[in-house]
Structure formats: structure tokens, C-alpha cells
Amino acid sequence: MDLSTTAYVVLGLVRVNPRSGYEIKAVVDETTRFFWAASYGQIYPELRKLSEAGLVEGVDEPTGGRKRTVYSITDAGLAELQAWLTQPPETFELRDEGLLKLFFAGALPPEESLTTLRAMRAHHEEKIEELREIEPKAEAAGGFTLMVLRGGIEFGEFFVDWCGRMERQVLATEGVGT
């Protein structure tokens, strides 16, 4: 069927209950965003494609004069989602400007790298906070939702710890060099 990964995000979310494009974006922003983001510019065209392929079905449910299309998954869509789930995952990509700055930190005195390390640590501390706020909801859902969220928290903690250790290393040795 050859769908983009984001298409499966859409399928997976309309499966648990029917949603509009706007709602999908909102759910993405407080769930999958941490490991798979999606924007409106992706979601709306994707809904149209999936609809044409018969994997989701859109029903007009206007609220007053404001138009609104709610999509639900079809049998074919569910089959497609399940088939995808049984395939081993492929993409893993990281884009971390902080690590990049550390990598090039030899172009300045070593102390300057502390700005980067502290900013990285602060960033992950904030992420942990965000995830902890969602945690009650995930606890209610249980299962894999909770597993993935707790994984995110652990990952954040790992990163915060690493930054702290590296900060101390830089402070301890003024001879880090290049």
C-alpha cells in the first residue's frame, strides 16, 4: 500500500476513536510528538489520501455553521495498520543541535561548552516535567501508552544525568583540549 509513517499515526489515532484533523493534531501534540511529530500540512493531505484509498472514512459533522469532518478507520484501514505493526521498525533519527555544538566545541575555550551542556540539561528537565504532567492520563490508559511514556521519562533522566556528568568533567579538567 506504500504509506508514509505519518499515515500510520493517523490510522492509529482514528482507530481508538473517530476524530477530525484538528483533534488528531491535538492528540499528536500531547502523545506521539516526542518520538514522531506531525503538522497540519501533513495531516490534512494524509486524511484525504487515506480516504481515497478507503482506509478511513470521513463523515461531515458540522458544529453549527462551522464545517467539520470526522474520520474513522475502515476494516481495510485496520488491516493495514495491523500489517504495519508486525513489520520491524526501520526509521530511527536523532537531530540534536546540542550534541552538534559539543562536537564543534573545540573551536572555542572549553568553558564555553558549559552554556551548551546546561541548555541541554534544562531542555530535558523541561521535557520530563511535561511528561510527568501527562503521566496520570497515561496511567489511566495503562498498557503500551504508559510503557512508552515512562520510557520517555527514563530517557530524559538519562540525558540530564549525562549532561551533569559532562559539566563536571569540563569543570574538573581545564585541559580538555580540542
Q: Which residues bind a second copy (CB under 8 A)?
A: 5, 8-9, 12, 15, 31-32, 34-37, 78, 81-82, 84-86, 88-108, 110, 112-113, 115-116, 119-120, 123, 141-145, 147-148, 151, 154-155, 158-159, 162, 166, 169, 176-178
62 vs 89 by CB, closer to a second copy: 89
Among DNA, a second copy, none, residue 154 binds (CB under 5-8 Å by kind): a second copy
Tell me the per-residue interface mask from 5 to 34 with DNA, x by CB under 7 A, - otherwise: xx-------------xxxx-xx--------
* Among 79, 5, 81, 93, residue whose Cα is nearest residue 43: 5
Among DNA, a second copy, none, residue 113 binds (CB under 5-8 Å by kind): a second copy
Instruction: Give the separation between CA 74 and CA 91, rounded to whole angstroms.
Output: 26
Inter-residue contact 176 to 117 (CB < 8 Å): no
Considering only residues 51 through 110, tell me which ones interact with DNA, judged by CB under 7 A: 63-69
Among DNA, a second copy, none, residue 90 binds (CB under 5-8 Å by kind): a second copy
Using the CB atoms, write b or e for 23-53: b if 16+ within 10 Å. bbbebbeebbebeeebeeebbeebbeebbeb
6 vs 170 by CB, closer to DNA: 6
By DSSP bridging, strand 69-73 and strand 56-60 are antiparallel
Q: What is the chain's Cα-based Rg? A: 21
15 vs 49 by CB, closer to DNA: 49
67 vs 78 by CB, closer to a second copy: 78
Residue 140 in 3-state DSSP? Answer: helix
Q: Phi and psi for 37 in degrees, rounded to 5? A: -80, 160
Residue with cell 493495514: 80
Footprint of DNA (CB under 7 A): 4-6, 20-23, 25-26, 37-42, 44-45, 48, 63-69
